[in-house]
Structure 1
Amino acid sequence: MQQAKHNIAFIINSLEGGGAERVMCKLLTIMEADFQSAGYNVHLILLDDLPQEQQCPEYVNQVVLDTKGSLHSGYSALKKALEKIAPHTCVSFLTRANMLNVSLAKRLGYRAVISERVNTSSHLSGGLKDFISRCLVKATYPSADCVIAVSEGVKADLIENFSVKRERIKTIYNPYNMANISAMAQQPVDDLPSKPYIIGTGRLVRNKNFDLLLQAVAASSVGHDIVILGQGEEKQALLQRAESLGLSGRLHLLGFKSNPYPYIKGADFFVSTSNAEGFPNAIAEAMCLGKAVVATNCESGPAEILTGEYPYNVSGFEAQSYGCICEVNSVSGVAGALDYMSRDENKQRYEQRSAERAATFSNAVFREKLLKALKLQQSQPETEHVSGR
Structure 2
Amino acid sequence: MQQTTNVAFMINSLEGGGAERVMCKLLAIMEAYFKEQQLSVYLILLDDLPEAHRCPDYVNKITLDTQGSLVKGYQLAKQKLDAINPQFCISFLTRSNMLNVAIARQVGFQAILSERVNTSSHFSGGLKDTISKWMVKMSYPRAQRVIAVSEGVRADLIANFNVAPDHLDVIYNPYDIAQIERLAAEPVTDLPAKPFIIGTGRLVKNKNFSLLLEALAQSTLTDDLLILGQGDQLTALKAQAAALGIADRVHFAGFRENPYPYLKHARFFVSTSNAEGFPNAIVEAMCLGKAVIATNCESGPAEILSGQYPLQVSGFTEQPYGCLCETNHVEGVAAALNHLDNADQLARYSAQSALRAQDFSNAIFREKIIQVINPAAGQYKESHYVPAG
Fold match (TM-score > 0.5): yes
Distance 2:315 2:383 in 1: 46
* Equivalent AA in structure 1 for residue 13 of structure 2: S
Match of 1:287 in 2: 286
Shift of residue 155, structure 1, vs aligned partner: 0.7
Match of 1:199 in 2: 198
Match of 2:316 in 1: 317
* Equivalent AA in structure 1 for residue 57 of structure 2: E
Match of 2:362 in 1: 363
Q: Is the 8 A contact 1:371 1:378 kept in 2?
A: no
Match of 1:387 in 2: none
Match of 2:371 in 1: 372
TM-score, normalization by structure 2: 0.95
Q: Is the 8 A contact 1:306 1:321 kept in 2?
A: yes
* Equivalent AA in structure 2 for residue 335 of structure 1: A
Shift of residue 378, structure 1, vs aligned partner: 3.4
Q: Is the 8 A contact 1:210 1:273 kept in 2?
A: yes
Of 366, 381, 386, 1:381 maps to 386
Q: Is the 8 A contact 1:99 1:141 kept in 2?
A: yes
Alignment pair present for 1:208 and 2:207: yes
Runs of 4+ with >4 A deviation: none
Which SS does the other structure have where 2:310 is aligned?
coil
CA 1:140–1:119: 2 relative to 1, 3 Å = same
Distance 1:212 1:74 in 2: 39
Count of matched residue pairs: 381
Match of 1:180 in 2: 179
* Equivalent AA in structure 1 for residue 287 of structure 2: C
Residue by residue over 1:208-230, the C-alpha shift from the partner in whole angstroms, topping out at 9 and shown as x without a partner, is 11111111111111122111222
Shift of residue 157, structure 1, vs aligned partner: 0.7
Match of 2:168 in 1: 169
Match of 2:265 in 1: 266
Shift of residue 5, structure 1, vs aligned partner: 6.6
Which SS does the other structure have where 1:258 is aligned?
coil
Match of 2:89 in 1: 90
Match of 1:24 in 2: 23
Match of 1:65 in 2: 64
Match of 2:221 in 1: 222
Shift of residue 165, structure 1, vs aligned partner: 0.4
Distance 2:346 2:210 in 1: 24
Q: Is the 8 A contact 1:17 1:256 kept in 2?
A: no
Bigger shift: residues 67-76 or 305-314: 67-76
Q: Which runs of 5+ in 2 are unaligned?
A: none
Distance 2:51 2:21 in 1: 11
* Equivalent AA in structure 1 for residue 276 of structure 2: E
Distance 2:383 2:260 in 1: 32
* Equivalent AA in structure 2 for residue 228 of structure 1: I
Distance 1:128 1:332 in 2: 35
Alignment pair present for 1:139 and 2:125: no
Give the RMSD, CA atoms, in angstroms. 1.5
Q: Is the 8 A contact 2:4 2:40 kept in 1?
A: no
Residue by residue over 1:338-357, the C-alpha shift from the partner in whole angstroms, topping out at 9 and shown as x without a partner, is 11112111111100000111
Distance 1:378 1:268 in 2: 44
Distance 1:116 1:81 in 2: 23
TM-score, normalization by structure 1: 0.95
Match of 1:124 in 2: 123
Which SS does the other structure have where 1:7 is aligned?
strand
- Report sequence identity in percent: 60
Distance 2:314 2:145 in 1: 36
Distance 1:212 1:69 in 2: 33
Shift of residue 56, structure 1, vs aligned partner: 1.4
Q: Is the 8 A contact 1:34 1:379 kept in 2?
A: no
Following superposition of structure 1 onto structure 2, how do residues 325-336 of structure 1 map, counting pairs within 5 Å? Answer: 325-336=324-335
Shift of residue 91, structure 1, vs aligned partner: 0.5
